[in-house]
Amino acid sequence: MDEPHTTASERAATALRAPRRVVVGVAGSIAAYKVPFVIRLLRQAGHEVKVVATESALRFIGAPALAAVSGQTVSTGVFDDPAAVEHVAVAEWAELVLVAPASADLLARVRAGRADDLLTATILTTEAPVVLAPAMHTQMWLNPATRDNVTVLRERGLTVIDPDSGRLTGRDSGLGRLPEPEQIVSRALAILRQPEHQDDDVASAETTGSLEGRHVVVSAGGTREPIDPVRYLGNRSSGRQGCALAAAAAEQGARVTLVQAHVASELLDALPPGVAVIAAGTASDMLHAVREVARDADAVIMAAAVADYRPLTVAATKIKKQASTVSDHRSGPTMSIELTTNPDILTGLVTDPPRAGQIVVGFAAETGDDDGDVLFHGAVKARRKRAHLLAVNAVGEDLGFGDVPNAVVVLDGQGSEVARGQGSKMDIARLLIGLTADLVNGS
């Protein structure tokens, strides 16, 4: 039963931890090469995965690779192990069936109720939610036969994720590309989080609408500080974590404004409808945009990587390279750019809030050094910045930037640990939004 005093963050953490059993179906499409990333993300989030591949899928990706990454043998045909009546066993085991990629042929077979291989037989038998992530050429996706299949499958309650637009196999590009693994996994897991697909205890632990009627401002991406008309100082932030936070806040019923610096349009296009997006390219633009929209905000989450410094002067014309007088090209004349400090937006929100009582959340991407580990530096920063929450993550080659899973320790303004979490950026976002909602709601 749901305890009346259970906080949104406790509920989010429970939902985050609950391991689920996911059948990953793979159909015959070149996009099958992306499925190991889908499986890896699911397993990293703690879920158990069983792969069911069609015969044609195995022409694109080998069963040993799928077995290695899922940790279980890969099944294909209904006659692989007749004694086990595998299609029934797998269908009953599944709490979610996720097919990625789903080919045009697979959609047609599922629509027709065919059961001519283990994957279609499992889909026909299971009572678990079914999510299909199609990948195919634009013409196949737009063909009336496929359109009709998708409509019917959706009417029957299956989830068909719209494909992305972009580079396809060969030279062409257009609609039909398999969405990025992180998007597929977060869509699929969002379905598992719906109350009707939860175990009773997990269902009662789910967060719903805890930011209803609230305004949440999120910053995302990385600022670029101009040097001259063609050059800038920038950073590697993709904006994925900020977009995930915006989506997680919207999921909780908040009105969301995203202030974004150089976030890729595919990420912005994938935001839930209703998220207001404002572009801010430099730290100065972001300062003004954030403070303006934060005037009626209940919470501001600074996920953007804001440049700490900017060039003191911006050259009006392109700075010319100085001719080298050194013949071996190993070195030449040096040049320097004088930098000046940017305002710290986060600190400004804490010391001079645009609205009294608003909750301020920051991020700290840290590396350990001789003085202390990541957490030591995070705690020092938390005490200095005094935000209500500071999410500290370790920045390494494979952690923290771009399309990779994330791990954070959340500290309060005194540098004490409040929570920790790991998983996809959407999982981290849900945890942080849960914690933010607790503070906004005063629990």
Q: Select 179 or 362, whichever has its Cβ closest to ligand C5P.
A: 362
**Interacting span for ligand C5P (CB under 6 A) from 129-137, 329-337, 359-367, 372-380:** 359-367
- Phi, psi (degrees; rounded to nearest 5) at 427: -60, -45
Note whether 345 binds ligand C5P by CB under 6 A.
Answer: yes
Q: Select 254 or 283, whichever has its Cβ closest to ligand C5P.
A: 283
Helix (H, G, I), strand (E, B) or coil at 15: helix
Q: At what angle do helices 240-251 and 425-440 cross, to 10 degrees?
A: 50
Note whether 308 binds ligand C5P by CB under 6 A.
Answer: yes
Q: Select 75 or 257, whichever has its Cβ closest to ligand C5P.
A: 257
Note whether 306 binds ligand C5P by CB under 6 A.
Answer: yes
Q: Which two structure tokens, joined as six digits, stand for 154?
A: 């959706």
Beta pairing, strands 215-221 & 299-302: parallel
Note whether 242 binds ligand C5P by CB under 6 A.
Answer: no
Note whether 344 binds ligand C5P by CB under 6 A.
Answer: yes
Q: Which two structure tokens, joined as six digits, stand for 155?
A: 């009417």
Strand-pair partners of 48: 21
Between the two ends of the chain, the Cα-to-Cα distance in Å is: 19
Helix (H, G, I), strand (E, B) or coil at 317: coil
User: What single string gives the DSSP state of each residue in 387-410?
Assistant: -SEEEEEE--SSSSSSSS-EEEEE
User: What's the min distance (Å) between Cβ of 363 and ligand C5P?
Assistant: 4
d(CA 375, CA 362): 15
Q: Select 30 or 337, whichever has its Cβ closest to ligand C5P.
A: 337
Note whether 342 binds ligand C5P by CB under 6 A.
Answer: yes
User: What's the min distance (Å) between Cβ of 396 and ligand C5P?
Assistant: 16
Residue 235 appears among annotated catalytic residues: yes
Note whether 304 binds ligand C5P by CB under 6 A.
Answer: yes
Q: Which two structure tokens, joined as six digits, stand for 14?
A: 């429970």
- Phi, psi (degrees; rounded to nearest 5) at 196: -70, -15
Omega prior to 195 cis, within 30 of 0: no
Q: Select 169 or 341, whichever has its Cβ closest to ligand C5P.
A: 341
Q: Which helix (H) or strand (E) holds 184?
A: helix 181-193
Note whether 53 binds ligand C5P by CB under 6 A.
Answer: no
Note whether 374 binds ligand C5P by CB under 6 A.
Answer: no
Note whether 364 binds ligand C5P by CB under 6 A.
Answer: yes
User: What's the min distance (Å) between Cβ of 306 and ligand C5P?
Assistant: 4
Q: Select 180 or 344, whichever has its Cβ closest to ligand C5P.
A: 344
User: What's the min distance (Å) between Cβ of 294 and ligand C5P?
Assistant: 12
User: What's the min distance (Å) between Cβ of 436 and ligand C5P?
Assistant: 13
User: What's the min distance (Å) between Cβ of 354 and ligand C5P?
Assistant: 13
User: What single string gives the DSSP state of each residue in 239-279?
Assistant: SHHHHHHHHHHHHTT-EEEEEEES--HHHHHTSPTT-EEEE
**Interacting span for ligand C5P (CB under 6 A) from 39-47, 167-175, 357-365, 405-413:** 357-365
Note whether 285 binds ligand C5P by CB under 6 A.
Answer: no
Q: Select 45 or 392, whichever has its Cβ closest to ligand C5P.
A: 392
Helix (H, G, I), strand (E, B) or coil at 409: strand
Contact 312, 340 (CB under 8 A): yes
Candidate list 61, 192, 302, 433; residue touching ligand C5P; CB under 6 A: 302
Which residue among 235, 342, 393, 406 is the active-site one? 235
User: What's the min distance (Å) between Cβ of 369 and ligand C5P?
Assistant: 14
Contact 413, 386 (CB under 8 A): yes
**Helix ranges restricted to H, 18-169:** 35-44, 57-60, 63-70, 86-93, 104-112, 118-125, 138-142, 144-155
Q: Which residues bind ligand C5P (CB under 6 A)?
A: 283, 302, 304, 306, 308, 342, 344-346, 362-364
Give me the active site residues, please.
235
